Structure formats: C-alpha cells, structure tokens
Structure 1
C-alpha cells in the first residue's frame, strides 16, 4: 500500500477473480475473509463452490477425534451450513460444487439435510456430495454400533428426501442396513454418479444387488457382503472392490457395457480359493485393471489363453499388480501378457509393507494367514511375442534372481518394448524410520552390471532406467495410484 492509501490492491480485483480465490479455500478460511472489509463480507454468499468439512473445525495440529470434540465440531459444521445457506445470493443460481462432510449425529444431520434440501430447491447444483462419518470409525466398536448408525442414517435419509434426491456423490461408512435399505437409497438418489461404501453391510453373508441408471463410479471397501451383483449399471465406468469375504464367486457382473476401470484388492488367507479373472470380469471390456494383494498370498489363478479369456482381456491397455509379496517367482504374472494382446503398460509393485501387515506369528496362525504366498504357473507357449507393450514399471526392484529373470522374460516377449523403469523399494514414513536392507543397484557400476545380466542374449531396443529415492515420475505416480 502507498502512504495514505488505505485500499489494498487485492480488494481492487473484480468479483469473479476474488471468488475464484475463495473457491479454493475451505469454509473456515473463506469465512475469515469477511472481516477484511464490507465488500469481502458479501463474497462468501456468492461462492460457486461450498465445501464444509467437519474436520476443518478441529484445532490446528489436532488429528484425533474424541467424543467431546466430535460434538463441538459437528455443531460448528451445522452452524456454518445454516449461515452460508441462509445468506446465499439468490441471483447466483448455479452452485458448481456443494460438498458436505459431517458426523452422523441425530438432529445435527437433519439440520444439515434440511438446509441442503432448501438450497437445492432454489438453485441449480451441479455436483452435490455427502461424506457421512461415524464415531465408530474412530474407536473400536462392535456390530451393535453398526446397527445403531445404520438406523440413524435411515432416519436421516427419510427425513431429508429433497437433499438425497439431488445428490451426485455419496460416501458412507460403518453402517449396517436393513434388507431393502440400500435399494431404497439408490431409488431415491436418482442423480447419484458416485457411491462409496466402507465397512457397510446388510447383515452377515447377505448379497448386495446394485441397479442404477446414472451411477458411473462404485467403491465397495471392506464390506461384509457374501456377494456383490451388478445387475444393470449402464453408465458405470469405474469400480473398486476391496476386501471381499467369500472366494466362491464374490462378484457377479451383469449389464455394465461402459465399465473400463476396475480395482480389485484383497488379503488372501490359506483357506481361500483362488479367483479366475475370466469369470470375475466376464461380460466386461475392461481397459485399466489394478490387482492388489496387500503383501499376502496371490489370490489370482493364472489361466491359459482360451477364446473366453481372450474376450475378457482383449481391451486391456494398462495393468498394475500392487503389493505383490517379496521373494516369490513372478512368472505367473506373464499370463496377463499372453492374454492381453493390446496391453501397452505393465506396472508391478513388489512390497512387503511391514507397517500394515500382521507380523505376530501366533495371530497369523490363528487368522489362517498363508505361509507360502506364491503361485506356480507355466506358459502354454514356450516362446510368445507381444507386440503392443511399450512400458514396464517395477516398484520395489531388487537385484535378486527371480526379479532379474522376470524382467528378462518380459523384455524377451515384448518385442516393441521401449522403456523399463526400475524403482527401489517403496517406503512410508514409518518404513523410512526403520529401513530394510536392499540389493537395489544404487552405484553406477552396479547398475551397469545388472543391466548387462538382464539384457545378455536378448535382442531388445528397450532402455532400462534405474530410479532410486523419492524421484518417482509424476506420470508413474498417477498410474500407480489410479483410479
């Protein structure tokens, strides 16, 4: 500011630029701007993006949610919702994003639902999201609590049909529904495009049947359904299915003509049967596939190429096999290469992530974790050629014979391979505090030696890149973490 000029340059910006800035803030920070000037007081009522996250009301530096804090911050979220909705400028009819995250607590949630329902009745809302938390997520609770929260959710749902009728995204956790509750929710939420359920069920060993005209993204994570049946989802493009409890046909796929991205992750115990992907994904045209093993037993049954298998994998262009247990033969993964002639990118993450694994031997035995985690497979073709694969990426590469052999096999089969990216072992913060021994070739002389071993006798034009430390390419991060 110049001497004597009490008007700052920021306040001189036009409304649409200031609103663009405020749209990037959470509701707490946006509300604080009201004290800057009379002009700024009007701006929060003009926002095109309204994002209220109950966790933003926690004191700075606080991560744990206790009973007293939950009551306080949920109340703050209710008051913020009422304030913003009541002051909404009626001349600005379109809200591009309305995102609400709050705890499921009796009258609090109904107050939020009524406020959202009223704003939906008077405004066009392009994206409307509810992310509903429960206290059970922050403390060890039993099945009775899931039933309690399931009933509370349905009371909330039945009291606020206007809000749920306009939702496009819904995230639920820690709920036990009645037999027809999920069906009723889907019938009411006609605009729903994204549904995520975490630790939800309808009672032990029940079947979840999903049918919806608009749903395009579906996430089912650690839910205790005996089976998930996708009856008819004509617009479904992405699906994540993590942690199924039955290995006898846990997923049935019906009319899903647009499904192209699938993420399947599970911990396989010694008693579990292996899954045949040709049956799991029958009737789909999946292009992007992620298979997660949580550092435990391989649950995929390698299959030899058949006409049926070829039709399932024909459209595949990208595959990521994630958290493959360390130290086991990787040749089984080549069945994907044989079965998917149009595959362009193959990613493997080989990682015993000790921070998340059950390491106690007695508990592993009691819970039936497998001692042997690998799987044997022999190719039906002694030498096959793959003409589409261009990129091989391995996270957790070690200079061990089983990995060197695997890279050689891929380079030998993929005649048009362009690049091989070999990263050292991944590490979270806890892993970095307790690093494990590594045989990754960090020194240039060792890199040259490993490259010579891999390429000896192979006619391949592919370039091998050894990448250590935190320097993961942005494009690789995006692919590794999809969808």
Structure 2
C-alpha cells in the first residue's frame, strides 16, 4: 500500500482543530488575548502559529503583568532578582516582537509598553527607535515607572538618579519619542528645561502625565513647569514638586488635572495662557494656606472651561498635614491650620468678571460652613450659564489614606436647606447634586 503524507498540523495532533484555520482567523484569535505572554504561550502549540505573533496589530507589554511566578500567590515576596528578571523579559519581548514585525513588513496599530526605569530598559527604547525609523508604528505609549515599591519616593538622590537615567535614554534614542502619543513619567527629577524639551520632541503627543516629578528644587524656590505643545489634549500632574504650572500655548488641550502638588508661597500655582479649548479643569489639593486667595481669572480667563472640578481634601483643609512629621501633629495645631485656611476659598476677581462657558461646578470635600457657601455664590455670580452644582463628600488622601471627619449634609433637612440656599442665588433653575 502506498504511504500517504499527513499535513504538518495534523501530525502535531488530530485534536488541534484551530491550526486548520486560515492565518487571518488565527491572527484574530491572538489579537483577542490580553497579554503578550499568553499569546506567546499559544504559539508553542504548533509550528502553524509561530509566525503569527509578529503579526499582531496591537502590542501591550506591561511589566506589572509579566511575572508569572507571583501571579497566583500574593504571599510570595517579590525580590529585586524577580524584578530584574521580569523587566528583562519585557525588554526581550519588545526586541523579538519588533524584529518579527520588521521582517514581515507589518504595521503596528498600537504599541503600549510599561517598564521599569532600569539600565537594561534602554533595549526597549532602542528597539522602538528602530521601528520608528521604518514607520511601522502608528501609535505608541510609554509608561515609565520606578523600580522601588514607593512610587512617591522623596529621596533626592533616587529621584535625581532616575532623572539622569531617563535623559540618557532620551538623548541616545530621541526618535523613539517622536512617535509617542501617550507618555507617562514617574519619580523623576530633571533639569530645568528637560521636561519641556522631552514634550517638545514628542511631536505626536496627545496624552501625558507626570507623577512625583519636578524640574529641580533650589534652596529658596520651587521649579516652574512651562508647557507648550501643538497637539497635547490631556495633561495630568500628580504629587509633583513644581511651584507653578504654566500653560503657555496649548491650542488643543481639553482636560487638565492637577492633584496634590506643593506650590510656592508667593505665586499662584496655575497660570493659563493660550488654552482656548480647555473644557475640564480638575484641581485637587493644589493650594495651601499661604495662598490667601484664588484668582478666578488665573484659572478661567478666556478659556472654554465647561466643568470646574475642585477637591478640598488637602493638607490645610482637612485637619491633615500629610507631608509633615506625624509625631509633631496635635489636635490643636491641625485645628489651627484649618482655621487659617478660611480665606483660601475666596475668589479675588473684578466684580464685573463674567464667564460664559462653565456649565458645571464640582466640589469634593464640601462642608456645611460659610466659607464654602460664599465660594459657591461667587462662582455662580461669575459663571453666567452654570447649570449644575455638584457637592461631594471627602475621599481618603491618595498618599496616606487619611480620611477627615467632615460636616457634610446627610439628613433630608440638611440637604434641602443647602439646596434652597443655593437656588436662591439664581433667578433661573439650577441643578444641585448632593450625593
């Protein structure tokens, strides 16, 4: 009897029905997998799958999801050796995947990489730099995180070392950054103009966040973050050491979030220049008691802000000083800090200043006190087309989970009294949310 040949995929197992599918269907299956690690495991099932991993249209590599040994056991201690091995795996995966795409002349719709800021990570930046040169990446995202447990590390030497390492990556392979649409940086102390230069080099950048970053702190003043960018749509600044954030020229910016930074004592923490499309402005813990007033014109001016979201769970408004020595805190000095903050909620503006775009005012950390109601009334007088006032209770401090005791309206009687008082300040109906 003549021998018959069996197709390769049947030799590997009669039950491997998936391998009989055409490439486009198999690629669709691979694209549905959330983790590259899982996709890579799939490709070892059959030679039929092996070339497909380099054809994925979206590549998401997250170092936080890459350590398989600790995925199912939270009690296992995560050592520096584990961290090094995990980060090295992400570097290797990036190099292999981008090499496969280059050989097969395929285009990546999205490349999203989260990696530790370690020396070996320059391999990631180098591989992306080469791929950018071939125009094989349509959209890219970098999230650069520190290899220490505390993302809010305050050690000056550590922050400075991270900043220098990051700039080494940037200076060596600037082309890797030119195609980024999303850049998220953590725990960096950079030179005075480094952040502005990096953002400027990211020509396609649309989304950016800075967490626990600064541009150098002198003995007598804090640094200034100045930003100009033609395409940036959203900017988030959290726990940063900038004395002032200056938005110089951002024609497409629609959303700005500033949370938990320590501004200088003699300047206003936020300066808005040409930002005509700004729609949502979120300020959380961004002011201290040294700021006797907040200028409405500094925050709004001629912007298109439709929603102003304010969170007053800050170290001077909540009986809480997150950055100070806890041993020196007493009930008396925290109460004194709170009392000194009474003027913080005043709006210093011309009496005839009007803003016609704001539709919603949100205040988190609202309390039944005169300074809050005076503040709301001044906003309502200036925001001519305000439609919604949303009052929310305080949330725990993002840094230490402290939750202050507050005088928040809870009973129907208290809620109705607040709503009646606010409604009386407008001749037209206004929606009041107390949740």
1:345 has 2:364 as partner: no
When residues 305 and 61 of structure 1 are mapped into structure 2, their CA distance, relative to the original with a 3 A threshold, is: farther
TM-score by length of 2: 0.77
Contact 1:276 1:300 in 2 (8 A): no
What secondary structure sits across from 1:264 in the alignment?
strand
Alignment correspondent of 2:358 = 316
When residues 62 and 103 of structure 1 are mapped into structure 2, their CA distance, relative to the original with a 3 A threshold, is: farther
TM-score by length of 1: 0.70
Alignment correspondent of 1:199 = 212
TM superposition shift of 1:270: 4.2
User: Which residues of 2 match residues 13-162 of structure 1 at below 5 A?
Assistant: 15=24, 18-19=27-28, 22-58=31-67, 59-61=70-72, 66-88=79-101, 93-106=106-119, 108-136=120-148, 138=150, 140=153, 142-162=155-175
User: Which residues of 2 match residues 221-370 of structure 1 at below 5 A?
Assistant: 221-242=238-259, 243-246=261-264, 248-266=267-285, 268-294=287-313, 297=317, 299-302=344-347, 306-308=351-353, 310=354, 313-324=355-366, 326-329=367-370, 330-332=372-374, 333-351=376-394, 353=396
When residues 346 and 20 of structure 1 are mapped into structure 2, their CA distance, relative to the original with a 3 A threshold, is: farther
TM superposition shift of 1:198: 0.9
Once structures 1 and 2 are overlaid, which stretch shifts more, 346-355 or 211-220? 346-355
Structure 1 residues without counterparts, runs of 5 or longer:
361-368, 375-395, 424-483
Deviations 1:233-266 (A, max 9, x none): 1221211122242253111111112221211111
Alignment correspondent of 2:10 = none
How many residue pairs get aligned? The number is 384
Alignment correspondent of 1:212 = 229
TM superposition shift of 1:186: 2.4
When residues 94 and 209 of structure 1 are mapped into structure 2, their CA distance, relative to the original with a 3 A threshold, is: same
Cα distance in structure 2, aligned partners of 1:129 and 1:175: 18
TM superposition shift of 1:55: 0.6
- The CA RMSD over aligned residues, in Å, is 3.3
Deviations 1:128-179 (A, max 9, x none): 1110011245375510111111111110111111211211111111111112
Contact 1:93 1:122 in 2 (8 A): no
TM superposition shift of 1:119: 1.7
When residues 408 and 272 of structure 1 are mapped into structure 2, their CA distance, relative to the original with a 3 A threshold, is: same
Structure 2 residues without counterparts, runs of 5 or longer:
1-12, 318-340
Cα distance in structure 1, aligned partners of 2:17 and 2:429: 57
Cα distance in structure 2, aligned partners of 1:103 and 1:352: 30
Contact 2:146 2:187 in 1 (8 A): yes
When residues 340 and 32 of structure 1 are mapped into structure 2, their CA distance, relative to the original with a 3 A threshold, is: same
Alignment correspondent of 1:166 = 179
Contact 1:232 1:254 in 2 (8 A): yes
TM superposition shift of 1:10: 9.2
What secondary structure sits across from 1:135 in the alignment?
coil
